[in-house]
Amino acid sequence: MIPASLQRTSTPASPGSQKTGPVVFLIFLLMGCGFFYFLAARPFFQSRAARDWVETPCRIVSSEVKSSSDSDGTTYRPEIVYTYKVAGREYRSDRYQFLRLSSSGRADKAAVVARYPRGKAAVCYVNPKAPAEAVLDRRSAPAGFAALFPLIFVAIGAGGLVWSIRGKPKAAALNAALAAGEPWRFRPDWAEGRVVSSSKRALWLTWAVAAAWNLTATPIAWPIIQANVLHRPLNPAAFVVLFPLAGLGMLAWAIFLTLRWLRFGESALEMASFPAVAGGAMEGTVRLNRPIRPEGPVRLRLNCMARTTTSSGDGNSTTERLVWQREETAEMTPTGDAFPVAFALPASASVTTSWNGGDGIFWRLEAHAKLPGVDYKAQFEFPVCAGELSPEAAAEADRVRTREQAEVAAYVQPASSRVRVTTPMRGGTEFYFPPGRSLVGTLIVGGILAGLIWGINQTAAHHAYGPVFGLGVAAFIVGFILSYIWTASVRVNVEAGMVTVTHKFLGIPTTRVLAAADAAEVKTDITASSGSSITYGLKIVCRDGREIGAGDRIKDQREAEWLASRMTDAILKP
């Protein structure tokens, strides 16, 4: 049996929730289809039928723009009343188009009313089979972006139904695997000792997010852009433009992932021992769907992640936090359709507790190969469990660790690195981590700061002083980050049995001094992470348990390990 810690996972839904789930999604689907019919389909078919209606003279009786206000704002619609005669009988109608919908933006409704002033002789179109039915404009006039809203309900309902139906066998398989003490066997590929890449799942998820964002953000943002931005681009409402632009970016990314999928398809990781065991070695071979010729070695990144879901009044929010990471490289086989994978897992490695995408710990291998055009990228999620290592497995893990240590010892710091390790003329060793080592980060943060300052100026110019305070606080925070990037530095001097660590920020130094004999080791530490992208720092661990920061903002794990090794040698070796 597996340890109880492995069973702390998000379990499948209860039978009651499994029954109610499809019903809820079916309601969403029916609501979406109904709204779409009345907002888009019905006006379209009415317009098609009206092509056979009879053109008839009419006279405008009244014409005005009607408004309606509520907590969400004000909407407008043209209300035009006209009379016409059929077979000597007079009729009255107020139908301008087949779709009667109020929306934001008064200017376009006022333009319609201006075309049909009171008393004007005009032309309407009459249903010859029902003379009381008439319309001024028989062209197809769908709800525009508003018609996209029902598609959100359709997508949620249809996707939820598929998820509910497909999730039942998967939930049953997980329950059976948990009961048998082998939870990894609920996935067919895991049961075979292999891991299929998540490229296809990521592709569908990206398309779903892009579609949901564009269907939601565009209908909301476009009327505001029309009313407030197109004719007055320099005003506080201009930030709304960011929402459709973000949607276009998501759409472009989905198309890019589709091209990658069409080029590479799915890959499979065949592990030598399944599942991996904490303290052992994760070894195997990644086999590609078709051969490639990369421009260098394949970069591998092994991540241990913690997934957490929090609930609030606005819904659920899921975050992923990096717990542990290791980077390696691998060479393609001569055939170009496979490459080896080998990582040593620490004995303290967190075991998998998230088996079905719920909260808990999970492990992910990322592979990246540079190619002309679209790069090869793949991700593989595999389980790590606790257990006793066989003598052979322990020996293999030691061999992988020895190789990793040899790679650190043979590391050569690239000329592009700004971290300097020097030997001053007075002796000893100096490690210097200069400021301003993140150009991309500086540009991004600087751009955000410039946008905030512009927003403050524009908002104040419109006498909206309330939001100015919030923008000012945000600008202060961003400015602080920017000043840290450009002015913060660390200098570590090891000389004559003493270690001097000097942190400098905004030109103000802070110095700590300790005896080299009081230091136990220098270790690497994760200082910042965003998804699976992280930066490293160094910490001097003292014998009394204190930890002193000795460098940060190192992007390359190999360089961080090499710097820690050099600093350890300088401090601990006489």
Three-state SS string across 367-424, please?
Answer: EEECCCCCCEEEEEEECEECCCCCHHHHHHHHHHHHHHHHHHHCCCCCCCCCCEEECC
Which pair of structure tokens corresponds to residue 154?
């359709």
Asked if 96 and 135 touch (Cβ cutoff 8 Å), the reply is: yes
% of the chain at pLDDT higher than 70: 80
Number of domain units in the chain:
4
% of the chain at pLDDT higher than 90: 33
Residue 517 belongs to some domain of the structure: yes
Grouping H, G, I as helix, E, B as strand and the rest as coil, residue 203 is helix
Q: What confidence tens digit (pLDDT) does each residue in 267-278 have?
A: 999 998 899 999
pLDDT for 30 beyond 50: yes
Grouping H, G, I as helix, E, B as strand and the rest as coil, residue 361 is strand
Alpha helices, DSSP H, located in 194-288 = 199-224, 242-264
For tokens 């009651």, what's the residue?
Answer: 16
Residues facing residue 300 across a β-bridge: 328, 367
Residue 11 belongs to some domain of the structure: no
Q: What CATH code is carried by the domain that includes residue 402?
A: 2.60.40.640
Question: How far is 18 from 83, CA to CA, in rounded Å?
Answer: 57
**Of the ranges 127-136, 246-255, 474-483, 549-558, the best mean pLDDT one:** 127-136
Residues 342 and 359 in one domain: yes
pLDDT for 12 beyond 50: no
For strands 276-277 and 194-196, give the pairing: unpaired
Residues 539 and 454 in one domain: no
Q: Which long-range contacts (CB under 8 A, 24 or more apart) does 421-426 make?
A: 421/563, 421/566, 424/493, 424/495, 426/495
Residues 376 and 464 in one domain: no
Question: How far is 358 from 352, CA to CA, in rounded Å?
Answer: 11
User: Which structural domain, as residue segments, surrounds residue 63?
Assistant: 54-137
What average pLDDT is seen over the chain?
Answer: 82
- When pLDDT is averaged across residues 302-323 and rounded to a whole number, the result is 80
Question: How far is 164 from 111, CA to CA, in rounded Å?
Answer: 49
pLDDT for 15 beyond 50: no
Asked if 506 and 483 touch (Cβ cutoff 8 Å), the reply is: yes
Three-class HEC string of 521-567: EEEEEEEEEECCEEEEEEEEEECCCCEEECCCCECCHHHHHHHHHHH
Residues 404 and 534 in one domain: no
Band of residue 367 on the pLDDT scale cut at 50, 70, 90: very high
Residues 388 and 482 in one domain: no
Residues 286 and 353 in one domain: yes
> What pLDDT is stored for residue 558 in this prediction?
87
Question: How far is 287 from 450, CA to CA, in rounded Å?
Answer: 47
Residues 301 and 448 in one domain: no
Grouping H, G, I as helix, E, B as strand and the rest as coil, residue 468 is helix
Range of weakest confidence among 268-282, 393-407, 452-466: 452-466
- When pLDDT is averaged across residues 375-388 and rounded to a whole number, the result is 91
pLDDT for 312 beyond 80: no
Residue 7 belongs to some domain of the structure: no
Which pair of structure tokens corresponds to residue 216?
């939601």
Residue 208 belongs to some domain of the structure: no
SS3 content of the chain, % helix, strand, coil (to 5): 40, 30, 30
| Residues contacting 293, CB < 8 A, separation 6+ | 332, 336, 371
Band of residue 186 on the pLDDT scale cut at 50, 70, 90: confident
> What pLDDT is stored for residue 439 in this prediction?
60
Residue 205 belongs to some domain of the structure: no
Residues 424 and 516 in one domain: yes
Residue 165 belongs to some domain of the structure: no
Write down the pTM of the prediction.
0.64
Residue 97 belongs to some domain of the structure: yes
Residues 453 and 351 in one domain: no
Residues 310 and 451 in one domain: no
In 10 A of CB 60, how many CB atoms? Answer: 20
Which pair of structure tokens corresponds to residue 443?
């540009």
Residues 286 and 425 in one domain: no
Residue 73 belongs to some domain of the structure: yes
> What pLDDT is stored for residue 144 in this prediction?
54
* Alpha-carbon separation of residue 182 from 9, 186, 261, 283, 554 (angstroms): 13, 8, 32, 20, 39
Residues 498 and 509 in one domain: yes
